[in-house]
């Protein structure tokens, strides 16, 4: 059992725990320096997803506007060209 745990962790359990503690202290210090908290990261990710969601639908609304604006020119020209080519 211990051999499987060592293989999974990449080292002995004690050394892995010490490494994790040291890395956690370093990451915690760096996050404190930059004023980050776990909640800031979670809320930031959530706000990022919501912003993409809202901008995506507003972009689709603009695409619809572009489609209607272009159709006001393209459809009449298409009908006129088809009428002229039909006579031939």
pTM: 0.49
Distance CA 36, CA 13 (A): 30
Give me the phi and psi of 86, to 5 degrees please. Answer: -70, -35
| pLDDT at residue 1 is higher than 70 | no
Q: What is the pLDDT of residue 67?
A: 85
| pLDDT tens-digit map of 46-81 | 999 888 888 877 777 788 888 888 898 999 888 888
């Amino acid at each position: 059992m211990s051999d499987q745990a060592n293989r999974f962790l990449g080292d002995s359990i004690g050394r892995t725990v010490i490494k994790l503690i040291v890395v956690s202290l370093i990451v915690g210090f760096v996050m404190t320096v930059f004023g980050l908290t776990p909640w800031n990261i979670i809320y930031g990710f959530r706000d990022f997803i919501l912003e993409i969601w809202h901008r995506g639908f507003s972009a689709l609304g603009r695409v619809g506007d572009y489609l209607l604006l272009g159709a006001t020119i393209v459809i009449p020209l298409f009908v006129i060209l088809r009428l002229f080519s039909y006579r031939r």
